[in-house]
A and B are shown apart, each in its own frame.
Chain A
Amino acid sequence: MGMDVLEGGVQTTVQELPGRVGFLDLGIYPGGPMDHIAFRAANLLVGNPANTAALEVTAGGFKARFQQDGIIAVTGADTAATLNAQAVPGWESFAVAAGDVLALGHSTRGGFRAYVAVAGGIDVPEYLGSRATFTVGGFGGFAGRALKKGDTVQLGIASAGGRAGRRFDPARRPAYPETWEIEAMRGPQADPDYLTSDDMSFFFAHTWKVDRNSNRMGIRLEAHEWQWARTSGGVAGGHPSNILDNGYPVWGVNVCGNQPIILAADGPSLGGFICAATLVQAATWKVGQLVPGRDAVRFREVTVEEAVRLAETVDRDLFVAVHGAEGSA
């Protein structure tokens, strides 16, 4: 029993949290959803544990027919989702019956990724401890790739907690603006020895346009003429952005030559470019909703202590938004 894929869309993958942890030294980034808030919200709405395998639908265009009854929720970007051509609410669980067709249109009102959670989760085999699809390595999720027409995705067995009509508190729903503010810390190769403090002031003051050429590996931002605190990369290469290869923190902001790139869920684990900043865990979800070629980003500098507090707040708010309004867990 499962779900027949009628249209795969631009890129629909099975994801799971926390992704594939513990393999960075073999070159394997964790994968997992690009937006951990909408992903977890979808799961909580259908009564799953927040980290359960669910679908990440990039830019919409996904269509599937259910082989069985169930409870589902669609969160994230507004894709004007329909069930049998009738509009269904976002950020709210609802029932589907065998034969029903769920269709996600293309997101036009902000945000870039939608999440579809099914009570019981998506039943794909674990690979290296996770069901997350790692597009670069071609493994995990459904056959190591994005879903396409003709696939049948197996669904898990729902626990008793799933029910229709559970809503995510509309007042707490994350906003998907065109200009984002993303909390970040100075990266390992910021100032004073790689970039100047003026470079970093610019980095945190400027509104960066998101390049069209962005995906689960990296989000490219517009190029900038940096001052640099040094004239060359020495033994590592001619350009001052070159360093002897080191491990990249997940969700770091590389500067490659002059171009900043946010390393995302499927990014490279190691490389020879500086990391000017690192997004904080609580804020990485925003990257998943950046619309390539349209949105822009400002980075707000926070301390590591603020970052940890922010992560706790985000986790608490998420739980309250699903369960708090009803006064029960």
Chain B
Amino acid sequence: MSHSGHAIIDTIPAAEGRPGVTYRHAGDRFLLVEYGPMKLDLTMNFRVFGLNTALTRKRIPGVVETVPAVRSILIHYDGRTLPPRRLVDALIDLEHEVPAEDDLVIPSRRVTLPIAFVDRWTRGDIERYGKFVRKDAPNVIDGHNVEYIARYNGLDGVEGVIETICATAWWNASIGFWPGLPFMFPLDPRHAIVVPKYNPTRPWTVEGGVGIGGPCVAIYPVTSPGGYQLFGRTVPIYDLQARNAAFRENPILLRPGDRVTWSRVTEAQLEETREALAADRAGYDIVDEPFDVRAYLSFLRGVEPEAAAFRRRQEAAQQRVPVP
């Protein structure tokens, strides 16, 4: 089906085992490929990685780079040598080569990061927020945001939130907005907490601060403003000085397709690890481990009753909790 006069160049309707695809103009050097409807569904993200892998392998002349995101992939191309219609035709052909979700194996790494929960650094940011920005923020309870996350999700206090966050790996769907900032989603739907963002936003967040907004967990690569509910601090994920060997190629630790798991440490242990990493006396815990979508989807089906129970408790809790 071909369109003219607006942004959509072409579409492929959804079919058994395959989501619909929309190809959109994004100027004379970019093209946006979108999967499925506008909803949060990690299987769409796996599809994105499937296409990304196929694109990398295919090396279409004129394709400069790709930017995977939750349900879309932005393709940077050279319009002088590769007309967009030809690129879309190539992408439609490629779509038949991308395996169905079930058969995808995505290049991925398991990255274990130490985290100090409800740490003094993020509590410091939150204290300043209360002092200078908003005194009566409902998301600040006992000087932090974790109790609010607990109440909003029907969890058992601070410890309940920490257990939930540590119980799942976090899938990094994309890197961006700020250089190196990961957008991570829980792989285990039994622990899929959600929470509204700050209102207004917070002018400060410590480097390495970790927070959640909606369903998405982010790590702040540098000290910066932010709107996510903070729950801890981790090690540097961005280092221009390349003090640690992990940053030798570029200043950014994480890649799209990484799975982050959290290892709980004390503030003192975190400080020690941060120093050791900065001195290159320690390494980051990163293991190559391709992600098998079939195994994952089968896991999802198995835990669906528990995930549904988690969502019901969450929805009931949300009715009783004010939004910032």
Residues A278 and B65 in contact in the complex (CB < 8 Å), given A26-B175, A188-B32: no
Distance in angstroms from B242 CB to nearest chain A CB is 11
Tell me the dominant secondary structure on chain A's binding face: mixed
The reply to whether B67 and A190 contact each other, CB–CB distance below 8 Å, is: no
Binary B-proximity of A125-168 (CB < 8 A = 1, otherwise 0): 00010000010111100001000000000000000000000000
List A contacts of B70 (CB < 8 A): 244-246
Least Cβ–Cβ distance between B192 and chain A, in angstroms: 13
Majority DSSP secondary structure for residues of B touching A: loop
List residues of chain A with CB within 8 A of the CB of B240: 137-139, 144
Taking a contact as CB atoms under 8 Å apart, the answer to whether B27 and A281 are in contact is yes
Interface-facing stretch out of A68-76, A84-92, A110-118, A265-273: A265-273
Contact present for B27 and A27 (CB under 8 Å):
no
In angstroms, Cα B28 to Cα A158, docked, is 35
In the complex formed, the residue of A with least CB distance to B70 is A244
Partner of B30 from A139, A144, A200, A249 at Cβ < 8 Å:
A249
Query: What distance in Å separates the Cβ of A280 from its nearest Cβ neighbour in chain B?
Result: 5
Q: Which of B24-55 contact A (CB under 8 A)?
A: 24-30, 32, 34, 38-40
Whether A244 contacts B6 in the complex (CB less than 8 A), given A128-B250, A250-B30, A307-B28, comes out as: no
Closest chain B CB from A263 CB (angstroms): 11
Closest to A194 in B: B7
Count residues on chain B whose CB falls below 8 Å from chain A CBs.
Answer: 48
* A144 CB contacts on chain B under 8 angstroms: 240
B174 adjacent to chain A (CB < 8 Å): yes
A199-244, CB < 8 A from B:
200, 234-237, 243-244
Chain A residues whose C-beta falls within 8 Å of the C-beta of B6 in the assembled complex? 186, 190-192, 197, 200
Chain A residue numbers with a CB within 8 Å of B256 are 25
B79 adjacent to A185 (CB under 8 Å): no
Chain B hits for A278, CB < 8 A: 25-28, 30
Whether A304 is near chain B, meaning CB under 8 Å from some CB there, is: yes
- The one of B24, B32, B64 that contacts A22, using a Cβ cutoff of 8 Å: B64
A247 CA to B174 CA in the complex, in Å? 9
Interface residues of chain A, those whose CB is within 8 Å of chain B, are 21-28, 128, 134, 136-139, 144, 185-193, 197, 200, 234-237, 243-252, 268-271, 275, 278-281, 304-305, 307-308, 311-312
Q: 16 A–B contact pairs at CB < 8 A?
A: A24-B67, A25-B66, A28-B179, A139-B240, A185-B25, A187-B25, A188-B26, A189-B7, A246-B32, A250-B29, A251-B27, A252-B27, A270-B176, A304-B84, A311-B79, A311-B80
7 further A-B contacts with Cβ under 8 Å, apart from A26-B179, A246-B71, A308-B79, are A25-B255, A185-B27, A244-B38, A246-B72, A269-B176, A280-B28, A308-B83
Residues on B facing A (Cβ under 8 Å): 6-8, 24-30, 32, 34, 38-40, 64-74, 76, 79-80, 83-84, 174-181, 183, 214, 222, 240, 250-252, 255-256
